[in-house]
A and B are shown apart, each in its own frame.
Chain A
Amino acid sequence: MAKIDWTKLAGIRSSEITDPALFARRRQIMQASVALGLSGTIAAPVLAKGENGTPLNAKITKSELSTDEEPTSFETATTYNNFYELGTDKGDPARYAKSLKTEPWSIVVDGECDAPGKFTLEDILKPHAVEERIYRLRCVEAWSMVIPWNGFELGALLKRFKPNSKAKYVAFETLNDPELPGMSRPVLDWPYVEGLRIDEAMNPLAFMAMGIYGNELPNQNGAPLRLVVPWKYGYKSIKSIVRISFTEKQPPTSWNKSAPNEYGFYSNVNPDVSHPRWSQAKERRLSGDTSGLAALFTSKIETKFLNGYAELAGPLYADMDLKKYY
């Protein structure tokens, strides 16, 4: 039987307790307080939770493009996921994370480029310095998180394959392993596919992540390598990528195939274009302080055009009617 955790109910932020970034500092404080004979009741679960991730073996530099909003807790970001290959429940991806095999991993690069090939994960990652980008993540289901990703710019990766003049779009494909627990049911037309216009892909905000919170990307978050496009709804940020193709025509995308009137190719975050199921005007920010009753009463926040990234991503759509191209 689980015990009622009054510290949580009272609204003591679990993000403070669980974030790996704060973990080291907490441990110091804890050791100090143990030394002083002050060891508190909240301290006990800290160790257990902080040890969830595997720290990245890389030097991580900070980025100007990061938001200074407070990150969602590591625990929330790794236990509340949409990754239908592992199941449709938000908890399924973490629950069945082990069924995703990430070793060995290779990525096929093909289509309109001069340096295609099949690359091992190591080949892909090696030349890139690792950055931290703290981005807002806005799901089409009207919730959002703030996540510190680790990785590198998508454009830098794509340039290595020398896209040619016919490369107008980039298509991505997720691992297609019928053994994965969510794939036995045709919830979507597997494998999951996504795409960007080439100029969107080359935008400095478009990011490839192989880590979060300074840890290796957990399977439920799309290990070993995933896309992060912060000005678009979350489903554009395709996970566990096995193929990257440069195409001349606009590539198909999974949710658009499933319900074309609801999910467009662009899928830019836009409070003025409402989805048939969710008004997109507001969002619920999932901070991590969610097991407290406080989570029931926190106000929603206004959703911003292009998720607040209009300054950098806005010029991509200068003369487009985004109500038509949603």
Chain B
Amino acid sequence: MDTALQDSVTTPAKKKAWAKRWWLKPLVFLVALIPLVSLVYSLLTGQLGPNPIEVLTDETGEWALRFIVLGLLLTPLRIWLKKPWPVQLRRMIGLFAFFYVVVHFSIYLFLDQQLDLAAIIADVIERPYITAGTVAFLILIPLAITSNRRMVKRLGKKWQSLHRWVYIAACAAVVHYVWLAKGDRIEPFVYLAIVMFLLVVRLKRVIA
């Protein structure tokens, strides 16, 4: 049932339903840009405090994770609501997740580490939280590349098994967060619980 091809608008009935909701995608697109705009604005107005690199890293990391979780939520949402629109947003949300990860990683690479390759390699090897983040990032790359309609068609069934890796990426991203948080913080475990819940929902459907 859960084929990605349902994303594409095929039947005339679906076409009509979609035409009525023409505003949804542009709206979600604009809303998804708000975190970026607000960060840039705060940066330019000097509101990020004495350590802006830290704030930028943390904020983009959190938004990346939120979009990943939101993306995972869309398929079950379609089933619960019995409406098609959540899945129609899936590609865009997924790409926004990837976008925020890329910004997050670029800040790490260019601003935090200032391209100190030796330090970066040591980080990836020695610091488990960086290893986990890198795993999540590497998994997301092929998913982002194959997210367009042409690739969906071309890969057929393989597309689905490939894109199930997003669950592994989500787990790695949450582990990244759990391992980097200092002290007994609640937030990483809230994300952990949500991802675990969505994973269980998903596995149930696969088994059933």
Contact between B184 and A258, CB atoms less than 8 A apart: yes
Chain B 93-123: CB-based contact to A (< 8 A → 1; otherwise 0): 0000000000000000001001000010011
B53 interface residue per 8 A CB criterion: yes
Bound together, the chains give a CA A186 to CA B54 distance in angstroms of: 24
Q: A251-280: which have CB < 8 Å to B? A: 258, 274, 276-279
A185 at the interface (CB under 8 A from B): yes
B45-A299 in contact (CB<8A): no
Within 8 A of A (CB), among B28-52: 43-52
Interface size class of B (residues with CB under 8 A): 20 to 34
Query: B111–A8 contact, CB under 8 A?
Result: no
Q: Determine whether B129 belongs to the interface, using a CB cutoff of 8 Å to chain A.
A: yes
Cα A80 to Cα B129 in complex, Å, equals: 24
The interface size of chain A toward B, counting residues with CB under 8 Å, comes to: 41
Contacts of A2 in B (CB 8 A): 45-47
- Contact status B51-A143, CB under 8 Å: yes
- Of the candidates A5, A9, A90, A300, the one whose C-beta lies within 8 Å of that of B49 is A90
Tell whether, in the assembled complex, residue B127 and residue A277 are in contact, meaning their CB atoms are under 8 Å apart. yes
Is A84 among interface residues, defined by CB-CB distance under 8 A? yes
Tell whether, in the assembled complex, residue B183 and residue A276 are in contact, meaning their CB atoms are under 8 Å apart. no
Residue A116 CB within 8 A of the other chain? no
Partner of B128, one of A143, A187, A276, A299: A276
Nearest CB in chain B to that of A186: its residue: B184
> Which residues from chain B sit less than 8 Å from chain A, CB to CB?
43-54, 111, 114, 119, 122-123, 126-129, 179-180, 182-186
A75-B50, A290-B50 known; 16 new pairs, CB 8 Å cut-off, are: A5-B45, A5-B46, A9-B46, A72-B50, A80-B49, A80-B50, A84-B183, A90-B54, A143-B51, A185-B184, A187-B184, A276-B126, A278-B127, A288-B50, A295-B50, A296-B53
